[in-house]
Amino acid sequence: MHLTDLNGDLRADYLLVDSAGRVWAWLNGYSDNRFTWRFDGMVASGVGASGTQVRFADLNGDRRADYLVETPDGQIKAWTFHGYVVNQQSDTPMPDAPNTPGSGVGIDPCLLEVANRQDC
């Protein structure tokens, strides 16, 4: 379960990620001191990574969470949400997205600070 803003309305939406990295969303419709959640369906079909590797953060400043995958060696690959759905036609990450620490860097991935990471 993740809470992050998918649609740029500055309210955290509720996301469920399955073991194949697919994501289903409920959009937060908070109004008049009352929470309502609207099911928005599958918003990401996955990119071949397991659900335990999926993270969310707004990397491009559009106020919408982007889809991140943390590899076992600590690299981060990112995909923008295109009208919510991760681009199913391409497994190419977002241009200039962080891919750190990258191969050849001698750092323990468990020492990196990544939100929502499972314990090492």
- Residues making up the chain, counted from first to last: 120
Q: Give the list of residues 6+ apart from residue 63 with CB closer than 8 angstroms, or none.
A: 5, 8, 10
Instruction: Return the pLDDT at 101.
Output: 41
9 band by pLDDT with thresholds 50, 70 and 90: very high
Query: Which has the minimum average pLDDT: 38-42, 82-86, 95-99?
Result: 95-99
Q: Within a 10 A sphere around the Cβ of 50, how many other Cβ atoms?
A: 14
Q: Which residue has the higher pLDDT, 118 or 48?
A: 48
> What is the pTM (predicted TM-score) of this model?
0.71
Q: Which residue has the higher pLDDT, 49 or 105?
A: 49
Pair of tokens at residue 66: 């982007």
Count Cα atoms within 13 angstroms, Cβ side, for 98.
16
